[in-house]
A = this chain, B = another copy of it.
Amino acid sequence: MIDKQTEILRAALKLFVENGFHGTPTSLIAKEAGVANGTLFHYFSTKEELIVSLYVAIKKNLSACMVLEEDSFSSLKEQMKYIYVSALKWGIDNTTEFRFIQQFISSPYLLKLAPEEIQQKNTRILQLFQQGIDEKIIKKLPIDLINTLVNSHLFGVSQYVNQCQLAASERDNIISYSFELMWEMIAL
């Protein structure tokens, strides 16, 4: 056994995506994780805490993929593309996690998160948007709107790619091309 806590999170993720939050009793999670019922509550004092912890863990994972090494040589567009593509690839390679996030943020559990947790820690991308506007590369729109549009775009493409199983080359084509689509939307 690797680590019971990790094992519980893994099991929870799988079952939540399969059966939803209310369709997944804690007893089943414990069983799937190969631990006793009580062990689950040793690590997570309530079911709700388990759910929220799982979200935080996955979100952290995603954020880690989106860091951009400071690279002042790349153009703004290239920097954005890097972040965009990283996020998209993550969404495609981690279908289950992606589905979970989607389920979580459209559920009332979202409100159980501390506001600062919801906030995008990744303000780097917001900075890039602002910079783009200042340099008259990106349309002058509210930053939040741009952010929402880009996020929705990413969600949409992920969903599409996940739906129709594509060959790797085709996949990379779409990833690259969909960035251009997004760019045409926000660029001046």
Please report A residues at the B interface, Cβ cutoff 8 Å. Answer: 17-23, 99, 102-103, 106-109, 139, 144-145, 148-149, 151-153, 155-157, 159-160, 163-164, 174, 181-182, 184-186
Give complex CA distance A18, B107 in Å. 9
Q: Which B residue's beta carbon lies closest to that of A103?
A: B106
Chain B residues positioned under 8 Å from A152 (CB to CB): 152-153, 155-156, 159
Which residues of chain B come closer than 8 Å to A99, judged between CB atoms? 106
Minimum CB–CB distance from A64 to chain B (whole Å) comes to 23
Asked whether, in the complex, the Cβ of A156 is within 8 Å of the Cβ of B160, the reply is no
CA distance A184 to B153 in the complex (A): 14
Contacts of A159 in B (CB 8 A): 148, 152
Copies in the complex: 2
- Subset of 26 A-B contacts with CB under 8 Å: A19-B108, A20-B22, A20-B109, A21-B22, A22-B23, A103-B106, A144-B160, A144-B163, A145-B157, A145-B160, A148-B156, A148-B160, A149-B153, A149-B156, A149-B157, A149-B160, A152-B152, A152-B153, A152-B155, A152-B159, A153-B153, A153-B156, A155-B155, A181-B185, A181-B186, A182-B185
Q: How far is the CA of A182 from the CA of B18 in the complex (A)?
A: 33
| Pairwise interchain contact A144-B164, C-beta atoms closer than 8 A | yes
Q: What separation, in Å, do the CA atoms of A83 and B123 have in the docked complex?
A: 35
Q: Once the chains are docked, how many angstroms separate the CA of A103 from the CA of B109?
A: 11
Q: How far is the CA of A108 from the CA of B20 in the complex (A)?
A: 6
> A176 to chain B: closest CB distance in Å?
13
A sample of 15 more A-B contacts (CB under 8 A), given A103-B107, A148-B159, A181-B185, is A17-B108, A21-B22, A22-B22, A22-B23, A23-B108, A106-B106, A139-B181, A144-B160, A144-B163, A145-B160, A149-B157, A152-B155, A182-B185, A184-B184, A184-B185
